[in-house]
Chains A and B, each alone.
Chain A
Amino acid sequence: MTLQFNNETFRGDYSYFNTERAIKRLPFPFDRDEYMYSVNIEAHPGGAKGSPFEFRFDVDEHYISEMKDRAITLDDDPLRCQSLPHMELAGWDLLEIIMVSKAEDYPDLFTLHRDGNRWHWINRPLGIEQRFTFLDPTTLPCGPMEYITRQTQGDFALLHERDGNLWMDAGMVTSQADWSLDFDIGMNFFEWHAPVPKAKQMGVFDKALKFLLAMQQGQSYRRLNWTMTVNPRLDTSPENYHKWGPEKRTITPENVGRKQHLRIELQSFWRLPRSNAIAFPIRCYLACLEDICTQPKWGRRLHRVLRDIDPTLAEYKGFAVNQETIVNYLSQFDDGAPTSPGILPDA
């Protein structure tokens, strides 16, 4: 499998694009023609060959460009990556699980040699070669969590378990849907989810927390979440809201197909061995409506989901102001035919 990496941008001229292969393998988040929150958890990894569920940490054609975009965001705002002092061990746990997984799952891209605590890591796509001593932070250019997440797609939160709760005490957050790591770091599960409408009353968070606390080593899981973004922009942080916010108002019936993007989150959950913490990667997949509608089932389904969604959720998911234009555009792809259950596009 030779993976071709795109040369594209997620800001400015927004040259980001999806090849046909990338579109077909999108983890489309809707398994039915309507949407409401759920604790929709499955074992991970586990999925068809070539799908984003096959390997533990999916690497795709956007890898190199995404990491470049992350580096720009971090230069502009170093506070997007923080680790409270007691989370260093969890950072090492995360580094280990990512390096071991990627070296096993993508041997032509990554190599890891370990001689006791003397490790040797090679990242071919990014041109990185690093020898270091595991557990000794002075042998890496930065903390272990920052080091490895600068080379891994998606955002990461490391959750410390204590007092029957989970606390977001470290994170690398450069592709988030409008929440601030600097503000939320140190909060517990219910506090950082406080701004999500309706979910608390539905008991979604109680169930989710109970599940996560029961997680053990060796059992990892995933779920899908989603929002909507105008332009293929990864940095939709509250910090920069006054910069990307105006772009939300530039949608027209002519450009909505190419400008309006579905932002899919493939979240996974891992119990870490030395720190007993939980790793929470949030991997982001962006696709414009036009791309999604190349798959007939997805076009029909997306139209129905966004047309019928609870208005509070439309607001929270970031597209209420453009909902009418979006739904009108999508209606051309919906002939009313039935759709098959499940997320996969029809053959």
Chain B
Amino acid sequence: MSKQMTLEVTEVEPLTALVTRFRFERPEKAPLPIFSGGAHVVVEMPDGEILRRNAYSLISDPNDASGYEIAVRREDAGRGGSRYMHSEVTPGTKMRISVPTNLFALDPRARKHVLIAGGIGITPFLSHLRQLDLLQQPFELHYAARSRDEAAGLKLLPKSARIHAHISDEGNRMDLGEILTGQPIGTHVYVCGPEGLISAVLDAAARHGWPKGALHFEAFASPPPGKPFTVTLAKSGRKIEVSASQSLLEALEAAEVEIDWSCRGGACGRCETKVAACDGQIEHNDHWLSRDERAEQKKIMPCMSRFTGDALVLDL
């Protein structure tokens, strides 16, 4: 749950065919809360009958209170949030934006930071870089993208010998073994990008003996669409319909049921809800519940997960 601010879109800039940069400022130009590198905001999108909320990493300078910037990649197969941003939002549009929250902060104890980004996963590192510059801490950044055209971040990255672009079309793939070997004691690794990249980095790090305490990751997950389903609220008996392109959390919010939330992407655990009864199959799409918890079907993460079957009763 978060305080919301009504901000005005002041810039909309396509960075690549699929990725667009948006800038938000207060309509009265007053300062915005400053934040820390890696923070995200949640943007509200009133799309017809559905009110969507998507989390986006802040790419702007954490210490610049004049505006917030995000970069959104259009996902045509998604629920429609990114499509909305690309088609409905223009300079002058007013939108409700949450106060920044940080679930992917740098560890300031690190002697060196190794940042690994894939595709749109470059976004949180853009604000991280500003923070590292302010704190003057050693780092190296590896940015993997399929082609130069798709590498939206290239336009936004400063020139530096410590920043390496790995464009696979150009035959320049990222070599994780090389990156993870020979790093000085006290180095921390941060990875953000597609699930495949995150698994690859975590696996490689484990094989090279890296302790978990030195590894950090942020997965950009947004709720997948699916078949419509109905849930029942145990206390009131109310039935809530969840449409195909709506998440369970969004449906509950639309029905004015109060659920605590933060990342909206299945990672932070805040929206964990008890299941009173389940006759069917919960589709767990989160990263929070353990394998046993998923099998038990006594808990669900409404931000990401869906249901097929006869009845799902939530302890609400």
Which residues of A are interface residues toward B (Cβ below 8 A)? 84-87, 89, 135, 160-163, 214, 216-219, 273-276
Bound CA span A218–B33, Å: 9
- Once the chains bind, are A86 and B108 in contact (CB under 8 Å)? yes
B33: chain A residues within 8 A (beta carbon):
217-218, 273
Task: Determine the chain B residues whose CB is within 8 A of the CB of A217 once the complex forms.
Answer: 33, 35, 99-100
| Closest Cβ–Cβ distance, residue B130 to chain A (whole Å) | 11
Any A CB within 8 A of the CB of B109: yes
List of B residues within 8 angstroms of A218 by Cβ:
3, 33, 99
Output the least CB separation between A210 and chain B (Å): 9
Q: How far is the CB of A256 from chain B (nearest CB, A)?
A: 47
Closest residue of A by beta carbon distance from B134 = A135
The yes or no answer to B13 lying at the interface (CB within 8 A) is: no
Most chain B beta carbons < 10 A, residue from A85, A87, A217: A217
Instruction: Check if A274 sits within 8 Å of B34, measured CB to CB.
Output: yes
CA separation between A275 and B99, bound complex, in Å?
A: 15
Which residues of chain B have C-beta atoms less than 8 A from A219's C-beta?
A: 3
Contact of B135 among A89, A161, A276 (CB under 8 A): A89
| Interface status of B107 (Cβ within 8 A of chain A) | yes
List of B residues within 8 angstroms of A216 by Cβ: 2-3, 99, 101
Q: Quick one: closest A residue to B105, CB to CB?
A: A276
* CA gap between A161 and B216 in the complex, in Å: 13
A275 to chain B: which residues have CB within 8 Å?
36, 108
Instruction: Tell me whether B2 and A163 are in contact (CB under 8 A).
Output: no
A89, A161, A214: residue with the most chain B Cβ atoms closer than 10 Å: A214
Whole-angstrom distance between the Cβ of A272 and the nearest chain B Cβ:
9
Chain A nearest CB, measured from B112 CB (Å): 13
Chain B, Cβ-Cβ closest to A135: B134
Question: How far is A86 from B131 in the complex, measured between Cα atoms in Å?
Answer: 13
Inter-subunit contact B270/A214 (CB<8 Å):
yes
Q: Number of contacts between A and B (CB, 8 Å)?
A: 43
Q: How far is the CB of A188 from chain B (nearest CB, A)?
A: 13
**Nearest CB in chain B: distance from A187 CB, A:** 15
Not counting A89-B108, A163-B213, a sample of 18 additional A-B residue pairs whose C-beta atoms are within 8 angstroms of each other reads A85-B109, A86-B108, A87-B108, A214-B260, A214-B270, A216-B3, A217-B33, A217-B35, A217-B100, A218-B99, A273-B34, A273-B36, A274-B34, A274-B62, A274-B63, A275-B36, A276-B36, A276-B39
Interface centre among A85, A135, A219, A273 (most CB of B within 10 A): A273
**How many Å from the CB of B301 to the closest CB on chain A?**
16
| B102 at the A interface (CB under 8 A) | yes
**Which one of B39, B62, B109, B135 has the highest number of Cβ atoms from chain A below 10 Å of its Cβ?**
B109
Are A214 and B108 interface neighbours, CB within 8 A? no
Bound-state CA distance A89–B109 (Å) is 12
Binary per-residue interface labels of chain B (249-291) against chain A in the complex, 1 for a CB within 8 Å, 0 otherwise: 0000000000010100000001000000000000000000000
Q: Separation in Å of the A41 CB from the closest CB of chain B?
A: 15
Chain B residue numbers with a CB within 8 Å of A87 are: 108
| Assembly CA distance A228 to B134 (angstroms) | 45
Known: A214-B260, A216-B3, A217-B99. A161 touches B105 (CB 8 A): yes
Q: How far is A84 from B2 in the complex, measured between Cα atoms in Å? A: 31
Pairs A-B, 9 closest by C-beta atoms: A86-B108, A276-B36, A86-B109, A276-B102, A273-B34, A276-B105, A217-B33, A217-B99, A216-B99
Q: Which residues of B contact A276 (CB under 8 A)?
A: 36, 39, 102, 105
- Chain A residue numbers with a CB within 8 Å of B260 are 214
A273–B33 alpha-carbon span in the complex (Å): 8
Q: Report the Cα distance A218→B109, complex, angstroms.
A: 26
Residues of A within 8 A of B134 (CB): 135
Q: What are some 30 contacts across the A-B interface (CB < 8 A)?
A: A84-B109, A85-B109, A86-B108, A86-B109, A87-B108, A89-B108, A160-B108, A162-B105, A162-B107, A214-B262, A214-B270, A216-B2, A216-B101, A217-B33, A217-B99, A217-B100, A218-B3, A218-B33, A218-B99, A219-B3, A273-B33, A273-B34, A274-B34, A274-B35, A274-B62, A274-B63, A275-B36, A275-B108, A276-B39, A276-B105
Interface string of B1-43 (1 = CB under 8 A from A): 0110000000000000000000000000000011110010000
Chain A residues, Cβ within 8 Å of B2: 216
Cα separation A301 to B10 with both chains bound (whole Å): 59
B36, closest chain A residue (CB): A276
* Cα(A218)–Cα(B99), bound, Å: 8
Residue of chain A at shortest CB distance from B131 = A274
| A216 to B63 alpha-carbon distance, docked (Å) | 17
Q: Which residue of B lies closest to A87 (CB)?
A: B108
Alpha-carbon distance A108/B2, docked complex (angstroms): 34
Query: In the docked arrangement, what's the CA distance between A161 and B36, Å?
Result: 12
Chain A residues, CB < 8 A from B100: 217
Q: How far is the CA of A214 from the CA of B260 in the complex (A)?
A: 10
Nearest-neighbor residue (CB-CB) of A275 within chain B = B36
Residues of A within 8 A of B102 (CB): 276
Q: Quote the shortest CB–CB distance from B214 to chain A (angstroms).
A: 11
